[in-house]
A and B are shown apart, each in its own frame.
Chain A
Amino acid sequence: MPIAILAALVSAFCFALAAALQQREVLKVSGPGMADPRLLGRLGRRPWWWAGVGFDILSMALHVAALSFATLAVVQPLGVMGIVFRCSAGRAVPLVALLRHQRIRRPDVVAVAAVSVGLSLLLSTLSTASISQTFSSLAVVVCAALALTIMALVTLFAHFHPGRPRAILLAVGAGTAFGMTAVLVRALLLLARQPGTGTSIVLVASCSCRVPIAAAISRPRWLRRR
Chain B
Amino acid sequence: MNPVVAVLAGGMLLREPLPTTPIQLVVIASGVLLICGGIAQLVHSPAVLNPSPPPETEQSGALRPSREPARPERLHPIAYEVVAQPGQHLQIRSHRISPSDPALSSRRDRQAVH
Contact = CB atoms under 8 A, between A and B. Distances in A.
Contact of B47 (A96, A131, A183): A96
Given A101-B61, A133-B14, A135-B13, A96 B5 contact: no
B102 interface: no
A118 B31 contact: yes
Contact of A88 (B34, B48, B54, B61): B48
Nearest to A150: B5
Contacts of B112: none
Contacts of B17: 73, 127, 129, 131
A107 interface: yes
A180 B9 contact: yes
B3 to A, nearest CB: 4
A135 B48 CA distance: 44
B7 interface: yes
A183 B14 CA distance: 8
Interface stretch (A42-50, A77-85, A194-202): A77-85
Contacts of B12: 143
B43 interface: yes
B86 interface: no
B61 A87 contact: no
Nearest to B35: A118
Interface in A134-184: 135, 139-140, 143, 147, 171-172, 175-176, 178-180, 182-183
Give the one of A100, A122, A140, A186 with max B CB within 10 A: A122
Give the one of B7, B45, B49, B61 with max A CB within 10 A: B7
B3 A80 contact: yes
A84 to B, nearest CB: 7
A108 B16 CA distance: 35
B38 interface: yes
How many chain B residues sit at the interface, stated as a range, is: 35 or more
A93 B51 CA distance: 12
A122 B28 contact: yes
A112 interface: yes
Give the one of A114, A131, A171 with max B CB within 10 A: A114
Contacts of B27: 121, 124-125
Interface string A49-92: 00000000000000000000001110011011001100111010
Interface of B: 1-7, 9-10, 12-19, 24, 27-28, 30-35, 37-39, 41-43, 45, 47-49, 51, 53-54, 57, 60-63
Closest 6 CB pairs of A and B: A175-B1, A179-B5, A118-B34, A121-B31, A114-B38, A115-B38
Given A89-B51, A107-B41, 8 more contacts: A76-B2, A87-B42, A87-B45, A118-B30, A147-B5, A179-B3, A180-B6, A182-B2
25 contacts: A72-B7, A73-B16, A73-B18, A76-B2, A93-B45, A100-B57, A101-B57, A102-B62, A103-B62, A111-B37, A111-B42, A113-B38, A114-B37, A117-B34, A118-B30, A118-B32, A120-B31, A121-B30, A122-B32, A126-B7, A127-B16, A143-B9, A147-B5, A175-B2, A183-B14
